[in-house]
Amino acid sequence: MTQGNGGDVVLVTGGASGLGAAIARGMHERGFRVGIGDLDAAAASALAAELDPSGATAIGIALDVREQASFEAARDALTARWGSVEGLVNNAAATAARPVLDITPDEFDAVMAVNARGTFVGSQVFGRVFKAQGYGRIVNLASLAGQNGGTATGAHYAASKGAILTLTKVFARDLAAFGVTANAIAPGPLDSPMVHRTISEEAMPRFLENIPVRQLGTPAFIADIAARLCARDAGFVTGATWDINGGLFMR
């Protein structure tokens, strides 16, 4: 694993808890300066203070990924603090387990607004910065659900994650000539709060039987891959989807 990366600055969206917090921790451990963006600004700041009480290498940022102005404010906060920003990890996500015929149009729009729109807006705002400076790394958190239609998640979540896979390819193609890469990570079920909210403890043993490797993935490993894709020497991988799903989806 490449360490340090020259203290590159990375924004992790939805970084205050769950998988986002694991990614923020992992990036920080590997020498990145980390902006932790989250709707819960207090939680983001608390995690940043835990990672670095001095604020020299981690800060919390109030971020609503649905809004362009919020991403622009995050961009400005990072450049004001550290002079530049080199990476974006689009992790923020909304989900609900609901049968497709029970999902209302408004609920569908709400999930798409966070997951698909949030990824698009963030990649666009930061993509402009990366293009102008001739370097950047975008990592999008997709999902197995976006590849197989989902089994324990709602259609809105699965559809949004499928959209993220396509957006990753579009940004990768259009920004490749400018030193900017865009890749996706598509995790299967992880040992995370989101999965434990969806799958009850009683149902978990049977759920694990359906995973070829018979275990959940770990958020720390996802963080490893995100950091690897944001590394300076990762310039030859772009437009790719990294499958981390215990064998549930093979290609």
- The b-or-e profile of 112-143 (16+ CB within 10 A means b, else e) is bbbbbbbbbbbbebbbebbbeeebbbbbbbbb
Neighbour tally for 168: CB within 10 Å: 26
Contacts of residue 204, Cβ cutoff 8 Å, sequence gap at least 6: none
Give which of 195, 183, 201, 247 is closest to 219, Cα–Cα.
195
Answer yes or no: is pLDDT of 3 > 50: no
Give which of 148, 11, 122 is closest to 68, Cα–Cα.
122
Confidence category of residue 151, pLDDT binned at 50, 70, 90: confident
Answer yes or no: is pLDDT of 171 > 70: yes
What is the distance between the alpha carbons of residues 163 and 120, in angstroms, rounded to a whole number?
A: 9
Catalytic positions: 157
pLDDT recorded at residue 109: 97
What digits encode the pLDDT tens for the residues 194-228? 788 888 899 999 999 999 999 999 999 999 999 99
pLDDT recorded at residue 245: 96
Give which of 139, 130, 230, 118 is closest to 183, Cα–Cα.
139
Could you give the domains of the chain?
A: 5-244 (3.40.50.720)
